[in-house]
Amino acid sequence: MTQPTSSAHLTTIEVIDERRTLRNYLLQQRRVIDPALRTLWNNVLATKLLQWCEQVRPTSLAVYSPIQHEPDLTASYSQISAMGIQLALPLVVAKNMPLQFVAWQVGDEMVSDEYGIAVPLRREKILKPEAMLIPCVGFNARHFRLGYGGGFYDRSLAVAPQTWAIGVAYQCLQSEFSEGQHDIAMHLILTELAT
């Protein structure tokens, strides 16, 4: 795996290039995970998420519709909702803007957005979630996540610093990389490994 040089000596362009190379590598690694192993890991992650929700009991939780072989925790969403936790899904409003979060429940009618991501058809209730479940392309030991490069979640967390940020990733995607100027660390990273 490509390891970065000391971040103190990297220019912004070098950091962007380093992250692009690493992102492509990690996306390929995620694609080739055995489907049976992926299902097992997803079940472990869903159990950990349910345990966290039981302990913390946030009033609302932003979840996600998985794409590109992201961990699929959708099987746990009904149980989370049954705890009285309001679920929400992210909406891309515009490039370089924070996400909006739409109140949602399992069974609501869905459509695909311009990125091919499933989003609610009805979007009347926008909310500010108490916690966000955030898929990671990769993550480092300092709980910074590597995403797809659009910066949507970082901008969303910057305007809601009190929000719990919960990264979700497979442990094999932990890497070393330099944080960008606007990156925000996750409060915790859920992986399939025992903690």
Distances (CA, A) of 120 to 66, 91, 106, 126, 135: 14, 9, 10, 11, 19
Task: Check residue 99 and report its DSSP letter.
Answer: P
Structural domain spans, the chain: 7-190
Give 188's Cβ-side CA count (13 Å radius).
11
Structure tokens at 7: 């971040």
Share of the chain above pLDDT 90, in %: 77
**What is the CB neighbour count within 10 angstroms for residue 111?**
10
User: At the fourth CATH level, which superfamily is domain 7-190?
Assistant: NagB/RpiA/CoA transferase-like (3.40.50.10420)
For residue 43, is pLDDT > 60?
yes
Please give the Cα distance from 104 to 89 (Å, whole number): 6
Here the tokens at position 75 are 């099987």
The pLDDT value given to residue 178: 85
Residue 40 has pLDDT above 60, yes or no: yes
pLDDT for the residue 11: 64
CA 85 to CA 193: how far, in whole Å? 25
Question: Is the model's pTM score more than 0.85?
Answer: yes
Measure the CA–CA gap between 68 and 137, rounded to whole angstroms: 10
